[in-house]
Amino acid sequence: MPIQTINIGNYSNDGTGDDLRTAFEKVNANFSLLNTQDTTAASNLGAGQGVFAQKSGSTLQFKSLAAGANITLTSNGTTITIAGSGNLQTETTPTLGGNLNMNGFNIFGGGNVTVNNIESLIYGIDIRTLIGASGDLDFGTFTAPGTANIDFGTF
């Protein structure tokens, strides 16, 4: 049912408007309609976490944003800006919280790569599958932690 408009007539007491009882029936119906439209439900229109927490009386309460490690939050009257302050390109000692999933990609670049438990890494690898069609595979000098250099040379 839509909101009902009270007919007030053309001018005071001209008898063309709603009588008092009808007018207040419309008022009560309008308040009932508005009361059924009052909601505390909220939905997140995008990905991620919702910001609505709860409704307390007539006040809507929202979750707070908190900056984590290497994250800064700044705000003005209309915008909250979330920025990362870390940079892996310049980070000299990055650490992972778990295993690194390469997702089919390779690591490129210079420098050293230290591999722990090298025995389990190379155990059971058929070197012929690494050589490929060209027949050339250059391992150079390989150093395992706590051992002497192992020179694979060129295959």
Do the beta carbons of residue 121 and residue 114 sit within 8 Å? no
| Measured CA angle at 127 (ends 121, 131), to 5 deg | 120
Compute the distance between CA of residue 70 and CA of residue 84 in angstroms, rounded to an integer. Answer: 6
Q: Which element (helix H / strand E) includes 30? A: helix 20-37
Q: What pLDDT is recorded for position 17?
A: 92
Rounded to two decimals, the pTM is: 0.33
Q: Which element (helix H / strand E) includes 68? A: none
Q: Dump pLDDT digits (tens) for 18-66.
A: 999 999 999 999 888 887 766 666 677 777 777 778 878 778 888 888 8
Mean pLDDT of the chain: 74
Quick one: average pLDDT of 138-144? 54
Is the pLDDT score of 146 beyond 70?
no
